[in-house]
A and B are shown apart, each in its own frame.
Chain A
Amino acid sequence: MAETLIRVEDLAKEYRMGTNVVPALCGVSLKIEAGEFVAVMGPSGSGKSTFMNLLGCLDHPSGGRYWLGGQEVSQLSGDELARVRNSKLGFVFQHFNLLARTSAQDNVALPLLYSGMPPHERKLHAEKRLAQVGLAERMDHHPAQLSGGQQQRVAIARALVNDPQLVLADEPTGALDSHTSVEIMALLQQLNREGITIVLVTHEYDVAHFAGRIITFRDGKVIEDKPNVANDAAAQLK
């Protein structure tokens, strides 16, 4: 099959609360192949968000190892992690996290600013990605002038603009109504079909069902990891 994109071995994370050490993740090992669409599920406090932060190179693990696209990233410094995030990862957040009073195009181009791309190239890339999520007409709109669904599309375009190896979506439908949620999930599904690897965190079963594989966490451990057989059927219903 496809090459392995993510490999984690015995990944662990502990938080220190005063004198107490609270384990958030206790030895997770798994692999994700390039091109997969994975949903990470679990109740709050299950460790799924911690796992996502580690996958997203936003946090350092307390133990274990993590290879992203063949590069071991678990030992990298803060600035090196920033570089990995800038070149290999795309993020979609629950609350969109778009810059206010900034045009959709500039929002999408933001990651390219930090990779040192010249301005005209940034504009071109941003235009292309906005067109890909169906917002070619709204290039100059500010977030406040866009609906929730449109804002999340801008955020998705931003996640794609640096041609990432992996897109991490943290509750991408959490702030949207159910109708718009379906649209956004369909968009992610479509992007996955075009070859983009997506890892999605959600606590909603309906949302998780758009993925091809569902990993369930509880108490810092993976308790279930199975292919989502309903996926194809559900997608065809749409």
Chain B
Amino acid sequence: MNFAATFRIALLALRVNKMRSALTMLGIIIGVAAVIVMIAVGGGAQARVEDQIRSLGSNIIIVLSGSMTSGGARGGSGSQPTIFEEDAYAIGREIDEIQAAAPTLRGNGQVVAGNSNWSTIFYGITPDYLEVREWPVVEGRGFEPAEMSGAGKVVLIGQTVAKNIFGDASPLDQVIRVRKVPLTVVGVLDRKGQSMTGQDQDDLILMPISTARKRVLGAALAKSRSVSSIMVKVRQGADMNDADQRMRELLRQRHRLQPGQDDDFFVRNLSEILQAQEASSKVMTLLLAAVASVSLLVGGIGIMNIMLVSVTERTREIGLRMAVGARSRDILTQFLVEAVTLSLIGGAVGILLGVGGAMLIAELAGWRTELSGSSIILATGFAGAVGIFFGYYPARTASRLLPIEALRYE
């Protein structure tokens, strides 16, 4: 007896009791739909968390100068100028995983404009810096190439600085003095808010790195090409650790460090925070899926219940089938196929409902949902497994009936 015939018998038996089959499937339908919707909602939440963290700069690696030891006192990171602008350009050029590498020169000082003043941090940067930090200019413009190469007297200011110096007036084209050097405000940066460590990220001004070196920081640095730090953005989807590793190797090579010699620079990144956040949202998705799976399990028990009723009700039919030549294996297959068909049809409807439900939630509640193919495959596989698992016992009960007793059953 071939499988197609068994399948037809199963479909026929299910069609005979349309209402009951539909109600039995309902358990599986709801279970599968719930699993898909929950995983979609959880996946959406996870993606949102990832996006937020990424905007904070989770895919950013910061390279800092090494430390200087003088007279037994170690100076801490950045105390010795060991990294240079060329290091930054080499990193950006030679490592595929890296989208942009921005050298920065840091300083602080009093900003004066008219009769107001404000103490803040300034950075000498290249345009890569704005790309690395995903930081748009909301008013005015960024730096021109000529200003970059020619130490142009221009500056971009953060929201906090703009507010404290200029109040509600427009800062564009105004002149501010940084360490007594007059610079023209050409643009205002977008609001970034607090950093993860609670610092006000908007309290800063940015100027071309050449301007910072030659005009603002003064004679000590004017001739050097050293920088305070290099901010590196890793390409989306690239592995943070690979990028980190390749960058270290490149810097060691450029700095001619021998094997066994310590790095003369420091590397920091925020991937640990990202990992912790991702782990927690994964746990949440898993939890949601687990709760939804319970309903799938309940659906499976519903199938077992109905199949047992069906076996009892159809005892005479089973007896007859055995009398005309069905082996117990044929009966087992028939009932198992019935149960699996029930659960798979229920699974298919559940997938449609789940996908529709996830879309509806995204539409109505405005939640981000992320449908994944793997959750659909998982739910289908689970529905099939439920059918086999909960269908097996009733099917075996049917196949173990004795023909004479089954025939005599009233």
Q: Do A and B bind each other?
A: yes
B207 to chain A, nearest CB (A): 85
Is A58 within 8 A of B323, CB to CB? yes
How many A-B residue contacts, CB cutoff 8 Å? 66
A152 to chain B, nearest CB (A): 14
| In the bound complex, CA of A114 to CA of B334 (Å) | 12
B100 to chain A, nearest CB (A): 68
Is B16 within 8 A of A114, CB to CB? no
Q: Which of A78, A97, A116 contacts B320 (CB 8 A)?
A: A97
B316 contacts across to A, CB distance below 8 A: 97
Does B330 make an interface contact (CB < 8 A)? yes
Does A46 make an interface contact (CB < 8 A)? no
Nearest B residue (CB) for A88? B325
B158 contacts across to A, CB distance below 8 A: none
| In the bound complex, CA of A200 to CA of B2 (Å) | 34
Is B329 within 8 A of A79, CB to CB? yes
B279 to chain A, nearest CB (A): 55
Q: Which of B1-37 contact A (CB under 8 A)?
A: 1-2, 5, 9, 12, 16
Residue of A59, A82, A115, A119 ringed by the most chain B CB atoms within 10 A: A82
Interface size on A, residues (CB 8 A): 27
Is B325 within 8 A of A115, CB to CB? yes
Q: Which of B306-329 contact A (CB under 8 A)?
A: 316-317, 319-329
B327 contacts across to A, CB distance below 8 A: 78-79, 82-83, 114
Nearest B residue (CB) for A168? B323
B7 to chain A, nearest CB (A): 12
B12 contacts across to A, CB distance below 8 A: 102
Known contacts A97-B316, A113-B5: A78-B328 contact under CB 8 Å = yes
Does A111 make an interface contact (CB < 8 A)? yes
Does B42 make an interface contact (CB < 8 A)? no
| In the bound complex, CA of A209 to CA of B201 (Å) | 109
Nearest B residue (CB) for A101? B16
A114 contacts across to B, CB distance below 8 A: 1, 321, 324-327, 330
Does A99 make an interface contact (CB < 8 A)? yes
Does A100 make an interface contact (CB < 8 A)? yes
A165 contacts across to B, CB distance below 8 A: none
**20 A-B Cβ contacts within 8 A?**
A58-B322, A58-B323, A59-B403, A59-B404, A79-B327, A83-B325, A85-B323, A85-B324, A97-B319, A97-B320, A99-B317, A110-B321, A110-B324, A113-B5, A114-B1, A114-B324, A114-B326, A116-B1, A116-B2, A119-B5
Extra inter-chain contacts (8) besides given A85-B325, A87-B325, CB under 8 Å? A58-B322, A58-B407, A59-B403, A82-B326, A97-B319, A114-B324, A114-B326, A114-B330
B interface with A by C-beta (< 8 Å): 1-2, 5, 9, 12, 16, 316-317, 319-330, 402-404, 407
